[in-house]
Amino acid sequence: MNTATPATEDTEIMDPTTAFLPIMLLLFIGMIFLSGRKQKQQMRETQKMQSELSDGDVVITTSGLRGTVVDASYEDTVDIEIAPGVVTTWVRGAVRETVNPDADAENNDEATDEAPVDGQPAADGRPSA
């Protein structure tokens, strides 16, 4: 005959952290996986941009130098004109981004239109502070 009462039975209560730990571990692994995919996609886009450089493209290098590509015929390097008559040779991997000069000119025009000179009224007729 079994005379065990519920108080004497071997009951085990699950610790909340043991249930929470596997869920957190899965979330952590998922975040690493997704961030790795995003980084690989950005790397592919950058490499595609670097391989498609052509003469006349305005570029910015990883060191912040802005110039115009004058010779992109080499496989690993590009020649960039950084000032009139000053041409430097760069590894394609050093090109961070291409710049659309038309968009930059529009942004500069908008910035100069909005910035009034001290004492002069702004374009909308309000006096400057």
pLDDT digits (tens, 9 = 90+) for 47-96: 898 888 888 889 999 999 999 999 988 888 999 999 999 999 999 989 99
Host domain of residue 24: 17-52
Flag whether 128 is in a domain: no
Per the structure, how many domains does the chain have?
A: 2
> Do the domain assignments include residue 12?
no
Output the pLDDT for position 51.
Answer: 87
Amino acid at 96: R
127, part of any domain: no
Q: Is the domain of 26 the same as that of 76? A: no
Q: Which of 103, 114, 14 is nearest to 58 (CA)?
A: 103
User: How many other CB atoms are there within 10 angstroms of residue 77's CB atom?
Assistant: 15
The predicted-structure confidence for 10-51, as pLDDT tens digits, reads as follows: 566 767 777 788 888 889 898 888 888 888 999 999 889 888
**Whether residue 73 is found in the same domain as residue 103:** yes
Q: Which residue has the tokens 């493209």?
A: 57
By the 8 A CB rule, do 50 and 98 touch?
no
Give the type of residue at 23: I
Identify whether residues 74 and 89 lie together within a single domain: yes
| Pair 58, 40 in one domain | no
